[in-house]
Amino acid sequence: MNTASADLLTRLARPEVRELPAYNAGLSSEVVRQRYGVTHVARLASNENPFGPSPAVANALAGLAASASIYPDANCHALRAAIAGRTGAQAGEVVIGNGSENLLEVLCQAFLSPGDRVVTLVPSFGLHDIYPRMMGARVQMVPVTPALEFDVDAWCAALTNGPQAPKLAMLSNPSNPVGCMLDAQAFRRLVQAAPRETLLVIDEAYYEYARLSPGFPDALAELRAQQRPWIVLRTFSKAWGLAGLRVGYRIASNEKLVQMLDRVRTPFNVNLAAQTAALAAWGDPAHMEMSVRETVAQRDALAAQLRALGVVMAPSAGNFLFLNLQRPNGPVAEALLARGVIVKPWKEPGYEHFIRVSIGSAEDNALFLQAFKDVLALAA
Ligand SMILES: *Cc1c(COP(=O)(O)O)cnc(C)c1O
């Protein structure tokens, strides 16, 4: 394409879109294999579950091809009822999405107009920033403290300062990428500081892991006690091992909110395989709990080994660690790739010395630790 038509395209695109950064989704295993000539790839960049989903998922999917010609249930009745049953929500308060990324997108499309104010966390899950900006919202980022903890005072100030209440406040608890969490007391403080007119969005993508961290809040119970709009987001991508099939869910403060979101989402946003697999996985919580327990034990062991080497990090309530390399992360991530280990070098300004490493299988974690020591020339 010549420069003139590229310029034309730039002018045709919405101004918000021209300035959007691309989501940093990382490299595929195949690309790493080819580019670096490695046989085994340790995928530690996307917080995937090395244990995979419940065996019940394979059984449920096996018979599905025959139904592929039928549209999926646009309202995900069975899955919503199952989720409602275990979370104490009404089925009408549950929304299913094509991954929770889809839920975030629909949420921003339904509620944000140009100029609206959104408060979110930095460093953060990229989409908490990208989707609001796509809608033309002004995003105010509240950084974590230098000690890599939630800055509750700064959050309360951001929520209450300014001529108008923020339209939306969105944070992940525990934070991705840092792993820090708001404990029950801090969570209550933040919720109580938030203006009634602000839609509070709590992204609990790592809920199943964080539940094992002492002090993790019962966000649903806390929010249900409030007269205010709120949404809690969870996903089948992490602890339930279904990242490849794309299913997220959200529980909303009331059915009215769900109806708003239903107007915006595509009618068949969750495909048949995704609904079937999620329902089967949800029916086997013991498998999920086993993978979470193993991952948390591996995480704590790896963190202890890294700390013994002098590596600085925050305590993590998720299935990942955020490591301060005290040097630019690009060359380190590249050298790890050459050893077949994919991690996520953080790119947000101020965090270019950090990598996020997911907790994988015991073998992959060991591979990471050895490669990391080699690359940083750390003494054992
Ligand atoms: C992984 C993750 C999600 C999950 O996204 P899906 O689209 O459901 O795979 C959502 N929020 C955060 C903060 C995450 O880290």
Of 171, 180, 202, 203, best ligand 1 pocket probe by most atoms within 8 Å of the beta carbon: 203
Q: Strand pairing of 341-342 and 42-43?
A: parallel
Q: Is 97 in the pocket of ligand 1 (CB under 6 A)?
A: no
> 244 CA to middle of ligand 1, Å?
12
Distances (CA, A) of 223 to 175, 236, 252, 311: 19, 22, 10, 37
Of 171, 238, 356, best ligand 1 pocket probe by most atoms within 8 Å of the beta carbon: 238
Please give the pLDDT value at position 64: 94
Please give the pLDDT value at position 364: 98
Given a contact cutoff of 8 angstroms between Cβ atoms, the answer to whether 282 and 202 are in contact is: no
Q: Is 176 in the pocket of ligand 1 (CB under 6 A)?
A: yes
> 203 CA to middle of ligand 1, Å?
8
> 378 CA to middle of ligand 1, Å?
33
Q: Return the exposure string of 167-186: e unless at least 16 CB atoms fall within 10 Å of the residue's CB, then b.
A: bbbbbbbbbbbbbbbbbbeb
Q: Which residue type occupies 2?
A: N
User: Which distant-in-sequence residues (6+ apart) come within 8 Å of 331 by Cβ?
Assistant: none
DSSP classification of residue 326: S
Given a contact cutoff of 8 angstroms between Cβ atoms, the answer to whether 128 and 170 are in contact is: yes
Q: Is 172 in the pocket of ligand 1 (CB under 6 A)?
A: yes
> pTM value?
0.95
Nearest ligand 1 atom to the CA of 248 is: 8
Q: Is 105 in the pocket of ligand 1 (CB under 6 A)?
A: no
Which parts of the chain register pLDDT below 50? 380
Q: Is 100 in the pocket of ligand 1 (CB under 6 A)?
A: yes
User: Which distant-in-sequence residues (6+ apart) come within 8 Å of 11 by Cβ?
Assistant: none
Side-chain-side CA neighbours of 210 within 13 Å: the count stands at 27
Please give the pLDDT value at position 1: 67
Q: Which residue type occupies 157?
A: A
Residue 198 sits at φ, ψ, to 5 deg, of: -90, 130
What is the Cα gyration radius of the chain? Answer: 21
DSSP β-bridge partners for residue 202: 171, 232
User: Which distant-in-sequence residues (6+ apart) come within 8 Å of 186 by Cβ?
Assistant: 150, 152
Of 44, 49, 125, best ligand 1 pocket probe by most atoms within 8 Å of the beta carbon: 125
Given a contact cutoff of 8 angstroms between Cβ atoms, the answer to whether 254 and 232 are in contact is: no
* The domains spanning 21-47+286-379 and 55-283 adopt the same CATH topology: no
Q: Which residue type occupies 54?
A: S
> 21 CA to middle of ligand 1, Å?
18
| Cis peptide preceding 174, ω within 30 of 0 | yes
> 104 CA to middle of ligand 1, Å?
9
Domain 55-283, second-level architecture: 3-Layer(aba) Sandwich (3.40)
- pLDDT tens by residue, 55-99: 999 999 998 999 999 999 999 999 999 999 999 999 999 999 999
Please give the pLDDT value at position 379: 53
* Tokens linked to 311: 């590596």
Residue matched to tokens 């979370």: 87
- Domain borders along the chain are 21-47+286-379, 55-283
Please give the pLDDT value at position 311: 95
Fold category of 21-47+286-379 in CATH: Aspartate Aminotransferase, domain 1 (3.90.1150)
Rounded Cα gap, residues 361 and 44, in angstroms? 10
Rounded Cα gap, residues 39 and 362, in angstroms? 18
- pLDDT tens by residue, 318-340: 999 999 999 999 999 999 999 99
- pLDDT tens by residue, 215-257: 999 999 999 999 999 999 999 999 999 999 999 999 999 999 9
* Tokens linked to 219: 């966000």
Rounded Cα gap, residues 243 and 249, in angstroms? 13
